[in-house]
Structure 1
Amino acid sequence: MGYPLNQKFDYSVLTPFLNLHLNNVGDPYTARSMLLHTHDLEQEVLGYFARLWHARPRTSLTPDSFWGYVLGMGATEGNMYALWSAREYFRTGPGKSVEQPVLYFSQEAHYSIEKCAKITGLATFQEMGNEYYPGQCPITSDGHWPQGVPVDKHGAVNPEMLSALVGFFTAKGHPSVIVLNLGSTFQGAFDDPQAVWQSLSRVPRGDNCCQQANELSRQDCWIHIDGALGAAYLPYLEMACEKGLTREKGPCFDFRLPWVNSVVMSTHKWFGAPFASGIYMSKEKYRMKPATLPEYIDSPDTTLGGSRNGISALLLWYAITAITPAKQAQTAAECMKLAVYACEQLATVRAIHPEFHIAKGPQSLMVLFSRPNNRIFNRFQLSGRGELAHIVVMPHVTRSAIDHLVHSLHELDAFDITKSKGDVQADRISHSDE
C-alpha cells in the first residue's frame, strides 16, 4: 500500500507474445529494417496520450505537432531525455545561449532528477550558486543555497521563490531548465504550472530570448513535467469532475499550456504493468537529431535507449484499448473517495494514540500518517520518511485493506519502535497468506 504501483491488471491474454522478440528499435515514426516490432501500436498509444494531453496532432505535421516514444524504463528515462533535450536546446537550438543553463527542481522532486543532472552535465541552481555566487541566494536569510526550491505544507513548489531564483540567474544570462512535479514521491503533491508561469512571466527576459510583448513562451526557459503518476491520473480526474463524479480537479499541466516543453508518465503506476515503462512526449521541433543514420537499423536513433522493448508498447496499447476513458474517470473518482475514506478512518486512531498525525494534499492519492512499528510497516508494505509513513490509494487498494491497516494502528503497541527484527520476521510469516 506504500508505493504508487497499480496491481490491478491482467495481461494474460498477451502471453503468446512472450515467445516473440519484439524490438522497437529507432524512431517510432520512421521506417526501419527490423520487422519484429510494435511500432504501429506505439504510434496508436502516443496518439492516445496526445489527445489526453491536448497536444497538436501529427496528421498535419508542423513544428508544434507532438513527438514522443514509449520508454524502455520508467519516468527516470523520460526525465533524463527531457534534460538532455533541454541541454541541446540551449546549446545548439532556438534557445542557444553562451551561458550555461541552470536546473531548478523542488525539495520534493524525485531523486532521479539530480542523477539525471549529473549524467547530462546540467548544473543545479545550488551547485551554480555555491560555486560562483556563495552567500548570495535571494530566498534565504543567510544567503545559503538550498538543495531544492522550497515547497508549501502539501509539498507543492513555491512559485514566488522559484521565480526569485530564476530571476537571479536570468539576470546573469543563464537560461532555465525547470522540472515540475505532478504527484511528488512522498507527499503526492501537484505543482501548479499555471501559477508557476504567472510568476515567471514577471521575471525580466535575458538577452537571448524573444521580446514580443504577447509571447506565450520563453526561449530562455524549458519546462518539463515529471508526471510519473499524475500525468496519467489527473486527466481522468478532470473527466470525473466534469461528469460530477467528484469535486476534485487537479491543475492544468499539459500541452494546452504553450510553455510546457515536455511531459513524462510511468505506465506501471496508474495503468499497472509487470515491469517499468512509460511515455515521453514533447514536440516535433524538439525531436533530437541523431549524430548518424545507423545503416544497421536503417532508422534515425532519436530515442535514449535505441533498442527498446516492444512489449511495453503492446501492454499499454492493450490497457488503453481494454479500459475506456469513462471507466478510467470512474476509477479515478473512486480512488479519490477511498483516499478521503482512509483519512476519516485513520482519524479514529487518535482515540487510542492522541499524538497520531494525518495529512493529505489536494487531489493527492497519498495519505500521510505517523509511522508505526516495523511489524505493521512491513506487513502493509508502507513507505516512510522520518517519523511519517504513507499509503497510496491506487486502483488495487480496497476499503477492506484500509480497514485492516486502521485496525492494526489501534493496537496499543502500534507505535512501539522497539519491536525486534524477530517479531517482524515472524509477522511476515504469519501473514504471508493474506
Structure 2
Amino acid sequence: MADLEDGSTETDAFPDVPLSGAELARVLDERLAEVPGWHSPDDPVRLGFAMTAPHALALDAFGRFAERNPNNVGVHTRFGDGVRGTRRLEREAVLALAGLLHADAADGYLTGGANEGTLAGLRAGRNALRAAGAGRVVVLASALTHHSVAKAAEILDLELRPCPAGPSWLLEAEAVDAALDALAEETGPGARTGVVVVSTAGYYNTGLVDPVDAISAVLARRAAAGGNLSVFHHVDAAHGGMILPFTAPEVPFDFRNPYVHSVVLDPHKSGLMPYSCGVFLCRKGLLGHGAVPAPMSGFVDETISGSRSGAMAAALWSLVFGLAADGYREVFRACLGVRDRLADAIRAADPDAVVLPSPGNTVVVAGFSHGEGRLPAELAERYRLVG
C-alpha cells in the first residue's frame, strides 16, 4: 500500500488465506492504540472538536441490536408506519425530538449526520419550490455557514449566494431582506425564483445562533405581500440543536417559527451518540417532495441514504428516553461550567484577549493580544483548535 509520488496509493492483493486469530488481534490492538482515548493523560484533549464520548446507554443498545442487523429503510413517522422493532424506536425518538423543537406535527428520520440532513433539507426545499412554479432556485446563507451547505448546493446543482457576515458574525434579518430584494429585481416578468434560506443555530467555530425568528418574520412578511419569490427555510442546528433546548430554551431557532420548514440535528456531536447519527426533521407534507418509489421493496423512499441502521435508532432511543431532559440538562450544565472556567483562564493568562463565550452553547471564541491573535502551533495541535 505504498504512496506514489503523485499522491495516489497502490492497491493491495485481496488475501487468499485468513490471518490467525492471534495475528488479527495483534493488528487490531496496534490500530486501537493509535486512536485517541478519553481518559488517558497521554491522549489529546478534544477541546476544539465537536464530539463527545458515546454514552454507555447508547453503546449498550447499539450492541444489543446490531447482531440482528435491522434495516430501518424508509421513513417511519407517517401514520401507520413504524409500529414494530427498531422502526418503532426510531419513530418514537424522532417524534420526541420534534416535540423538543416545538413542532406540532413533523416527519423525519435518522441520517448519517448533519451533512446528509442538510442535503435532505435543501433537496426538499428545491423540489417544493419547483412545484410552486420556481424556474430558478437559489440557496441564501451566511458566508460563515458550514461547508455542508455549499456541498449540498453543488450536489443539487443550485446557485449558492453567500451573505457577508457583519460585525455580529451572524446572518442578520436585514441582510436576508436585502438579498431577497436583489433576487426579486433579477427575476424577469412572469418568472418566479425560489430561495432556500439557510440559518444556523450554533456555528461550528463560534457557537453563535442566527436570529431565526427575525429571519422567519422577514420571510412571512414578504410571503404575505406577494411578489415573484417563493421561500423555504432550513435551519442547520447541528451544533446547537441538542444543547439550546436544555440550556437556553428561550432561543427561538426552531419550529416555533411558522417560516421554519426543516431542521437538522447532530446527536453524534453533542447528544452523546456514537458516529454516525444525525436527525432530519421537517413539517408534515414536505417529505413528499423527495419521494421515490421503490417497487422492488414495496414502499416509497423519501430518504437520501436508503438503507439505515436500526441499531443506531435503538441507541438514540435509549438516550432520548434513558437520559430525557433532566439528564441532558445535567450534562450541559457541566459543559457550560467548563466553558466558563476556560474563558476565565484565558482572561487570566491574557487580560487583553477578546473572549466571547457563546450564549447557551458550549463554545468559547478567543482573540489573543499577541501572535496575531492565534495560539502557538503546539497548543492548536494538541487541543484540535482551528484559527
TM-score bracket for the superposition, by shorter chain length = 0.7 to 0.9
- Residue 385 of structure 2 is matched in structure 1 by 383
Q: Give the deviation of 1:124 after TM superposition.
A: 1.6
Work out the CA distance in 2 between the residues paired with 1:159 and 1:31. Answer: 36
5 Å-filtered alignment, 1:120-199, equals: 120-125=156-161, 148-171=162-185, 172=187, 173-199=192-218
Q: Which whole-Å CA distance do the structure 2 matches of 1:331 and 1:168 have between them?
A: 44
- Map 1:311-350 onto structure 2 (within 5 A): 311-350=311-350
Tell me how far 1:333 sits from its aligned partner. 2.9
SS in 2 for 1:180: strand
Q: What whole-Å deviation, never above 9, does each CA across 1:69-118 have from its counterpart, x for those lacking one?
A: 111x10011100111111111112xx322x30221110210001011001
Q: Secondary structure at the match of 1:285?
A: coil
Q: Which whole-Å CA distance do the structure 2 matches of 1:234 and 1:33 have between them? A: 30
SS at match of 2:380: helix
- Given the alignment of the two structures, is residue 22 of structure 1 paired with residue 70 of structure 2, yes or no? yes
Q: Within 2, Cα distance between the matches of 1:259 and 1:202?
A: 10
User: For the Cα contact (< 8 Å) 2:115–2:148, is it kept in 1?
Assistant: yes
Name the residue aligned to 2:50.
4
Give the alignment's Cα RMSD to 1 decimal.
2.6
**Amino acid paired to 1:122:** L
Gaps of 5+ in 2: 1-46, 369-373
Change (3 A) 1:277 1:8: closer
Q: Secondary structure at the match of 2:208?
A: coil
SS class of match (1:101): strand
Residue number among 38, 48, 51 corresponding to 2:96 in the alignment: 48
The one-letter code of the counterpart of 1:185 is Y
Separation in structure 1 between the aligned mates of residue 240 and residue 290 of structure 2, nearest angstrom: 30
Could you tell me which residue of structure 2 aligns to residue 69 of structure 1?
109
Looking at structure 2, the residues matched to 229 and 33 of structure 1 have their Cα atoms a distance apart, in angstroms, of: 30
Question: Percent identity, aligned pairs only?
Answer: 24
Please state how far the C-alpha of 1:367 moved relative to its aligned partner: 1.1
Whether the 8 Å CA contact 2:292–2:302 is kept in 1: the answer is no
CA deviations on 1:334-364 (whole Å, 9 max, x unpaired) are: 322332221111111126xx6x443333333
1:183–1:190 CA contact under 8 A, matched in 2: yes
Displacement, 1:47? 1.7
User: Relative to structure 1, is the Cα distance of residues 32 and 330 closer, same or farther in structure 2, using a 3 angstrom cutoff?
Assistant: closer
Deviation of 1:331 (Å): 2.7
1:43-64 Cα offsets, whole Å, 9 max, x none, are 11112112101112xxxxxxxx
Q: Report how far residue 301 of structure 1 moved.
A: 0.8
- Deviation of residue 274 (structure 1)? 2.3
Name the aligned partner's letter for residue 197 of structure 1.
S
Q: 1:23 to 1:283 in 2, by over 3 A?
A: same
Please list every run of 5 or more consecutive structure 1 residues that lacks an aligned counterpart in the other structure: 57-64, 126-147, 210-219, 240-248, 386-434
Partners of 1:13 and 1:159 lie apart in 2 by 44
Secondary structure at 1:306 match in 2: coil
1:372 aligns with 2:379: no
Distance in 2 (alpha carbons) for counterparts of 1:33 and 1:269 = 28
Structure 1 residues 192, 259: closer, same or farther in 2, change over 3 A?
A: same
Cα deviations by residue, 1:196-239 (Å, 9 ceiling, x for unpaired): 23344555845457xxxxxxxxxx11010000021111111135
> What is the letter of the counterpart of residue 51 of structure 2?
L
1:31-430 equivalences in 2 (<5 Å):
38-56=86-104, 65-71=105-111, 73-92=112-131, 95-97=132-134, 99-125=135-161, 148-171=162-185, 172=187, 173-200=192-219, 203=222, 205-207=225-227, 220-238=230-248, 249=250, 251-289=251-289, 293-350=293-350, 356-369=353-366, 370=368, 371-380=374-383, 382-385=384-387
Moved more, 46-55 or 74-83: 46-55
- Give the conservation status (yes or no) of the 8 Å contact 1:68–1:282: yes
Contact residue 23 and residue 37 of structure 1 kept, 8 A: no
Question: What are the superposed Cα offsets for residues 365-392 of structure 1, whole Å, 9 maximum, x if unpaired?
Answer: 2112343223222222x2212xxxxxxx
Kept after mapping to 2: 8 A contact 1:21/1:36: no
TM-score w.r.t. length of structure 2: 0.77
1:281-303 Cα offsets, whole Å, 9 max, x none, are: 11221123566532332211111
Change in CA separation of 1:347 and 1:199 when aligned onto 2, cut-off 3 Å: same
Quick one: distance in 1 between partners of 2:342 and 2:215? 31
Would you say the 8 A contact 2:216–2:258 is kept in 1?
A: no
- 1:37: how far off? 6.0
